Amino acid sequence: MSFTNVYYKRTAGTPKPCYVCYKPTTTVLATINTVDFLYTCPVHLTDSGFASPFVDPAAPAKPALSQEDIGKVVAEWEDRQKRKKRKRES
């Protein structure tokens, strides 16, 4: 049985022992059709000797937020905070 060495991070409903440290975890690395899988702690996924993230060059880039959008959200948040403060004072 042959499959590619690409695993996807998934979350399981039931915790099982981590492959490395045996602590209970719900994080699972699995192949696309779940032929092979292993439970691992999220902290082990940050170890470059254990796993490395797969970056798909064909995937669309995340849209960047403009300063205008950020300013708009901040202004809305400040308005809500002012309304809450006025409501508490009255």
pLDDT in tens, the chain (90 residues): 576 788 889 999 999 999 999 999 999 999 888 888 999 999 998 888 888 887 777 877 777 888 899 999 999 999 999 999 999 887
Domain count, the chain: 1
What pLDDT, on the 0 to 100 scale, is given for residue 59?
A: 75
Extended strands (E) in the chain: 8-17, 24-30, 37-39
What pLDDT, on the 0 to 100 scale, is given for residue 76?
A: 96
Instruction: Give the domain range for residue 26.
Output: 8-55+62-89
- Count how many Cα atoms sit within 13 Å of the Cα of residue 54 in the half-sphere of its side chain: 11
Is residue 3 assigned to a domain? no
Is residue 67 assigned to a domain? yes
What pLDDT, on the 0 to 100 scale, is given for residue 49?
A: 87
Is residue 37 assigned to a domain? yes
What pLDDT, on the 0 to 100 scale, is given for residue 40?
A: 94
Is residue 48 assigned to a domain? yes
What is the pTM (predicted TM-score) of this model? Answer: 0.57
Is residue 69 assigned to a domain? yes
Is residue 2 assigned to a domain? no
Is residue 79 assigned to a domain? yes
